[in-house]
Structures are given as structure tokens and as C-alpha cells.
Amino acid sequence: MRELVRPERLGPVLAEVLGDDAWRAFEVTLIAGGKSNLTFDLACTAGAVVLRRPPTGALLPSAHDMGREARVQRALAGTPVPVPRVLLEDSGDLLGVACYVMEKVDGHVVRDELPAGYAPEPADRVAMADALIDVLAELHRLEPAAVGLGDYGRPGGFMARQLRRWRGQWDASKTHELPELDELGARLVDAVPIGGRSAIVHGDYRLDNCLLDRGDPARVRAVLDWELSTLGDPLADLGLLLFYWREPGEPKPLLTPAITRGTGFPGRAHLAERYARRTGADLAELAFYEAFAHFKFAVIAQGVAARAAAGAMAGQSFGDLDDEVRRIAAEGLAVLDRKG
């Protein structure tokens, strides 16, 4: 674990940047839940901060870009989108790979269970969902150039490029053929919406990538994990959030939490309707974006399986994901069949 963080090299730099020699020696803890970039809690008598770095081993092209994560968080500081403050960024001199250190924001990460006594009533859980949507709407309302992100991506042809990218990732990471996923990708290519607005997109927006206020479930304290952020079609974010937002009776996913299957949480239609009200977005083509989310996450799941099998996930293991990838692909086809 410590060899991935190199405290003997990182400590002196942290001590200088943070102005406290206590940072020359710190404890390292892998934060559970990270299945792509690795996230570590660094703690000493002076406090705690968070380190983000890529996994070990061979990396897929364009993946795990620490510089982009740090840049977007710096840009969003001071906007209505809450993000942790970046404290230190390094291109590879310290750890041998690019990394950055950010402040540790206090709050709840809600995954498989609600903290004891937290959001006990249905109204609290609806408020939690509404806060999540409202922050996403704030992100999508920002003018990229106004926050220094006018060149952060190429919004034109975004969804067509996304499909090419994730189909390429599938070709690079698959260990066997999966007809359902190939069919889903092919059908999506034929259904790409024309036009659409451009915005800053998070790329992996979901409940457990946000920190909620410990005393108020209707407040998001910070949005985390900006690895996949860019400029593009904001409905891609909404489609992915709806994919993650499981409803009662649906299968429990292996890689992501499904707390929203429980009582009191609103359904996906509630989230979509609130987003439309907050942004004025036309959701006529929403089924495409939901189906694309299934395709994208199925590819991500395959990548996680490949990296875990290669021992590049700091000892984390996620079991046999073959059936999970197949299920996600089949569900994506069903979305197209149901709403196409």
C-alpha cells in the first residue's frame, strides 16, 4: 500500500505546501469504493487530506488523467458546484505517475446503507435526490469559457465520439466475445441524436460520487471523481445517473451501490422531471442516453475485471463479472426496445 503513495517522497512536499512539518510522516488508508483511479486517505496529527493517483499496471489510452481532474476542480472552485480544493498537483516526479492531493471534505458518502438516523423519512430521501439533481443542473448551466474551461473538450459530435471511444475501450479490454454488448453498440451508432446543447459534463455523476452534508441530506458538500469530465452533451450525465439509480425489484449490481432500491427514494421519472424543470432540457431522446449509459458501464465493468485480474487494483477483488457485463448489456437493449 505505502509503495503506491511513497510517503518518504510525498511527505516533505506536503509539509512544505501545507506549512506543517507534521506532514513529513503520515498514515495511509485506501478509501473503499474506488474501482478506477485509486483514492487514499492521508492522515497525521495535523489533519487529513486525500490523494488521487492512477492504478498500477498498463493503462488504457486517455484514461486516468490526473491533470484533468485537478484542472476541473480548480476551475469549479467558487461556483455553485461544490468541489474539494486542490492542494498539490504533480506530473510524476513524486510517485512516478501523475497525482494530486485535495482537501478532505467532511460529509457522508452514501453507498449501500444510510448512516444511522440519517434521512429517516421519505421526504428526506426525496430531498436528497432533489439536491443531487439540482447540483447537476447547476453544473450544466455553467458557461465553460467563464470558468476557464472553454478548451476542456470538443463538444461537437460528442456522442458519436463517445461511442467510438467506448467501443474502442471494449475492443482493448475484452477477454471474450459478448454479442449483446456488440449489438447494443451497433444500435446506438444508428440512433445518435442530432444536435443538442453543450456543457461541462462530469462523466460519472451518481449519489456515491458526492459527499452529503452530515446534518442536512438536502445539501451536497462536494462532487468527487472528475476523471471522465469534459465538454459535451449534458444528457449523457443524466442518462448515466438514471442508470445508477436503481428502483425496487431491480437486480442489485455488483460494482455500484443500489440503496435507491429501498423505501422512500423517488423513481427515475422524478429525477428526470426535476432535471427538465431546472434546466429546460428536452428529454425526448432520453432513452438513447440511458441505453448508452448501459453500454459505457458494461465496458467499465470489463475494464475493472481485467485490472483486478492483473493485480492492478491495490488488492481489491470484485469476483467474476462476466454475467454482470452481460446483464447490463441486455438491460440496455431492453431500454431501446421499450422506448425506441
Query: In this structure, is residue 326 part of a structural domain?
Result: yes
| Same domain as 264, residue 179 | yes
Which H helix or E strand runs over 294? helix 286-309
For residues 41 and 24, the answer to whether their CB atoms sit within 8 Å is no
Calpha distance 101→89 (Å, rounded): 6
C-alpha cell at position 98: 501523475
Do 268 and 160 share a domain, yes or no?
yes
- Is 41 inside any structural domain? yes
Domain boundary residue, one of 47, 76, 103: 103
Structural domain contains residue 111:
no
d(CA 176, CA 174): 6
DSSP 92: S
For residues 240 and 206, is the Cβ–Cβ distance under 8 A? yes
Report yes or no on whether pTM surpasses 0.85.
yes
- Which DSSP symbol is given to 108? B
What are 231's strand-pairing partners? Answer: 200
> How many structural domains comprise the chain?
2
The range of the structural domain enclosing residue 84 comes to 2-103
Q: Are residues 54 and 201 in the same domain?
A: no
Q: Give the other-Cβ count within 10 Å of 323's Cβ.
A: 10
62 and 160 belong to one structural domain: no
Residues 6 or more apart whose CB falls under 8 angstroms from that of 14 comprise 23, 24, 26, 42, 49, 88, 101
* Helix, coil or strand: residue 210: strand
Q: What is the pLDDT along the chain (340 residues), one digit of tens a residue?
A: 788 999 999 999 999 999 999 999 999 999 854 456 889 999 999 999 999 998 875 554 455 588 999 999 999 999 999 999 999 999 999 998 899 999 999 999 999 999 999 999 999 999 999 999 999 999 999 999 999 999 999 989 999 999 999 999 888 877 788 899 999 999 999 999 987 789 999 999 999 999 999 999 999 999 999 988 999 999 999 999 999 999 999 988 988 899 999 999 999 999 999 999 999 999 999 999 999 999 999 998 888 777 666 665 555 556 667 888 899 999 999 999 986 5
Q: Domain check: are 250 and 134 in the same one? A: yes
Does 115 map to a domain?
no
Is residue 114 included in any domain, yes or no? no
User: Are 87 and 151 in the same domain?
Assistant: no
Last residue of a domain, one of 103, 130, 161: 103
User: What value does the mean pLDDT of the chain take?
Assistant: 91
128 in the same domain as 99: no
Is position 116 within any domain?
A: no
- The CATH number of the domain holding residue 326 is 3.90.1200.10
95 and 129 in a single domain? The answer is no
Residues 170 and 302 in one domain: yes
Same domain, 162 and 264: yes
Task: Indicate whether 140 and 89 sit together in one domain.
Answer: no
In angstroms, rounded to a whole number, what is the distance separating the alpha carbons of residues 142 and 150?
A: 11
- Number of CB atoms found within 10 A of residue 311's CB: 13
